[in-house]
Amino acid sequence: MMPAHADDTRPLGRRDYLAAMITGLVAFIVYALTAAPGVLPGDSGEFQLAAPLLGVVHPTGYPLYLLLGKLWTLLVPLGDMAYRMNLLSAVFSALAVACFCVLSRQLGLGTVTSAIAALTLAFGRTFWSQAVRAEVYALNSLFTVVLFLLAMRGGEASGSKTMPAQSGGALVMIAGYWQHLLRLCRPCLFPFVLGLAVFAHHRLAILLIPALIVLAADRNQGWPDGRHPIPGMRHPNRASGVACLVAFLLPALLNLYVPWRAPATPYLRLPVGGGPELVLYRNTLADFLAEISGSVFRGSLELPTAGLSVRLAMAWHLLMQQFGPVGLSLAAIGLVGLRRRPRFAIALVLAYVAVLAFCLVYYIGDIADLFTPSYIVIALWIAGGISLLATMARRIARWPGQACILTLAALLPMTLLTANWPALDMSKETATRTAWQNLLGRSLPQGAILVSNDRDEMTPMWYLQYVEGVRPDLIGLFPKIIADSQFSTLGSLLDWLLARGQKPYLIKQMPGLEVKYSLQAANGLAQVTGYAAAMPVQPDRPLDSSLGGVVRLIGADVSKLPSAGEVMTVTLYWLPDAIMSEDYHSFVQLMTADGERQAGSDHRPGEAFYPTSMWMSGDVIVDRHVIPLPTLLAPGTYDLHAGMYSYPSLKRLPLTGSNETTIALGSVQIR
């Protein structure tokens, strides 16, 4: 039977928990049907690899997730290890949805309202995407909801009476002592869970602490006065304070997982030929602190002074993807409705603003996933908005009005479900496994080195190697595999390998690398066999002209005696003098004596994989231009000019110490 009001202040009962379980089960069924069936690229591949092996992953280590993942892969004999880890995310997300129902009911919102808001959260694009792949964000969502729930429930009466020992003998005595023990431990539950979230999982939970304190201290929700901000501590003393502090810090010990498992993690020491093995983690105190602190990511934090509008637009776009205009309208109504509960409103706004502000200044590739705690807050506002509208409708039209509002609100999660299913259904995503099985199935020599410009592409290779035992002799490398300047870019990594006498294979086509490296086809892949320019460079037309003080043209080769209607090849040899801040285009022009352009070529040298912004001092860049000559081009002598310009501004780099913007290459005779 539907409650008399959309708000429901009765204590939570069996029906509420059953509704939460059903809501979570619905979400889990959807997630399980759309979960990826196997190995995935990126962090997902890394977690699919590390959990079964109890290995070490990128900062900040995520020991709790890996330990739970290992246990899950042992207990659930479904599919391969990669699929089991994907399914674990579905479980965490579904539990978060179920707990959200309980949280919403704890606010005094109706059971139906809570279920609708929970499914709206569940079927939003970002939240759903985290439930179908192995990632840490699903567990982080569960922690967020549970922490809100514990903060709110902390002030409830904990004085359930223990049964008198004399009324039932030894069994009742044991039960009484057990209840007493639980009552003593209850104040430590909230700080312990918070410590698990902060120290043993994702540092994003730190942003929620101010909101959780405000929420726990809220005296306007019908809780007893005199509450201590730490849930469950109604009458704090020094001993209970110490106990809570210990409970909060205790989960930090889980970080000892890293030095414990590092020696047994096979992919942390790679035997690259031609020198000592490549060590990714040295198990020293410095490396340990860097691992658990995430210091490598500090460079990703920056104030978006000029790009604030772009970041805000990105946040708004992601928000619309998650809830749509109807959901956000309901959230706005719910936020307005919270004026009756100012402290609770402040707590939720604090949580939302803290997460939003952090995401605006944190520049990483998967930033969309970090917004999720703020979406949980908005889902609570949506629940409040539905409740407020339903209550108003009931005042106007009694039961039919309330039922109409709740029915219309139920269309929101259904709409999100149908709209997002095609984009988020990963149940047929086998391309990653197929591609790597084909690549590793090639007859590559023992100990061959495979290189990508993208770390995310390489984690599935490591999974197949170390979990499934496919070609474990091969070595997979990528830029920034360790924090060392020799590995900072694709070019520096290839230089390091060539200096060791290695000839690595590229796992995919990388147009543009040919400007610096000699590439040969081998075993269906491109193999880096050396440098494109023979040393010392001896161009047909030696030059030494500097552009903008950042790059010099040291010479050019021109094809012999080209004829009208044919193509003429002009090869430019560039030598960078400094790091270039942008990707320039180069050009070659065929001019008459009076400066009239007859033919030419321009392009971005190095294309996507080795553009000018990646050129390093000391590189010799071989920049080939193929110039189609007009059929009606008159025979005679023409001048060749070259240069560089910025795109899309088309502003040319000037010659150093001159106002000229082109370099004269000399003349050419056209037959």
Q: What is the pLDDT of residue 344?
A: 85
* Gyration radius of the chain over CA positions: 32
More confident residue, 176 or 542: 542
The CATH class for the domain spanning 541-670 reads mainly beta
DSSP 234: S
Q: What is the pLDDT of residue 399?
A: 73
Query: Where does 54-80 have alpha helices with state H?
Result: 63-75
Parallel, antiparallel or unpaired: strands 505-506 and 449-451: parallel
- Read off the pTM: 0.88
More confident residue, 357 or 217: 357
Tell me the C-alpha to C-alpha distance, in Å, between residue 249 and each of 60, 253, 269.
Answer: 16, 8, 32
Q: What is the pLDDT of residue 582?
A: 93
Q: What is the pLDDT of residue 531?
A: 95
Q: pLDDT-based confidence at 269, cuts 50/70/90?
A: very high
Q: What is the pLDDT of residue 164?
A: 44
Mean pLDDT taken over the chain = 89
Q: How many CB atoms lie within 10 A of CB 498?
A: 18
Helix, strand, or coil (residue 559): coil
Residue 405 corresponds to which tokens in the numbers above? 């509002």
Q: How many CB atoms lie within 10 A of CB 648?
A: 7
- Judged against a pLDDT cut of 90, whether residue 667 lies above it is answered with yes
Q: What is the pLDDT of residue 338?
A: 82
Q: What is the pLDDT of residue 223?
A: 32
The per-residue pLDDT for range 178-198, each reduced to its tens digit, is 555 556 667 788 999 999 999
Q: What is the pLDDT of residue 640?
A: 95
Residue 220 corresponds to which tokens in the numbers above? 């306007």
Query: By mean pLDDT, which of 83-87, 117-121, 395-399 is the weakest?
Result: 395-399
Amino acid at 151: A
Domain locations in the chain as residue ranges: 14-156+168-268+304-424, 430-531, 541-670
Cis check for the bond before 637: say yes or no (omega within 30 of 0): no
* pLDDT above 70 coverage of the chain, percent: 90
Beta strands in 117-253 (DSSP E): none
Q: What is the pLDDT of residue 308?
A: 86
Question: What is the CB-side half-sphere exposure of residue 481 using CA atoms within 13 A?
Answer: 27
The per-residue pLDDT for range 141-157, each reduced to its tens digit, is 999 999 999 988 753 43
Q: What is the pLDDT of residue 184?
A: 61
The per-residue pLDDT for range 313-342, each reduced to its tens digit, is 999 999 999 999 999 999 999 998 887 778
The per-residue pLDDT for range 33-55, each reduced to its tens digit, is 999 999 999 999 999 999 999 99
Helix (DSSP H) and strand (DSSP E) numbers for the chain = 19, 15
Of 584, 623, 582, 588, residue with least CA distance to 602 = 588
- Judged against a pLDDT cut of 50, whether residue 487 lies above it is answered with yes
Q: pLDDT-based confidence at 624, cuts 50/70/90?
A: very high
Q: What is the pLDDT of residue 146?
A: 95
Q: What is the pLDDT of residue 179?
A: 59
Burial of 244 (0-12, 13-18, 19+ CB in 10 A): buried
Q: In which region does residue 232 sit, left (phi positive, over 0), alpha (psi from -120 to 50) or beta (all else)?
A: left
| Tokens 């706004």 -> residue | 349
The per-residue pLDDT for range 512-547, each reduced to its tens digit, is 999 999 999 998 999 999 999 988 889 999 999 999
**% helix / strand / coil in the chain, to the nearest 5?**
50, 15, 35
Residue 140 corresponds to which tokens in the numbers above? 């982080």
Round to the nearest angstrom and report the end-to-end CA distance of the chain.
Answer: 95
Q: Residue 350 is inside which H or E element, if any?
A: helix 342-361
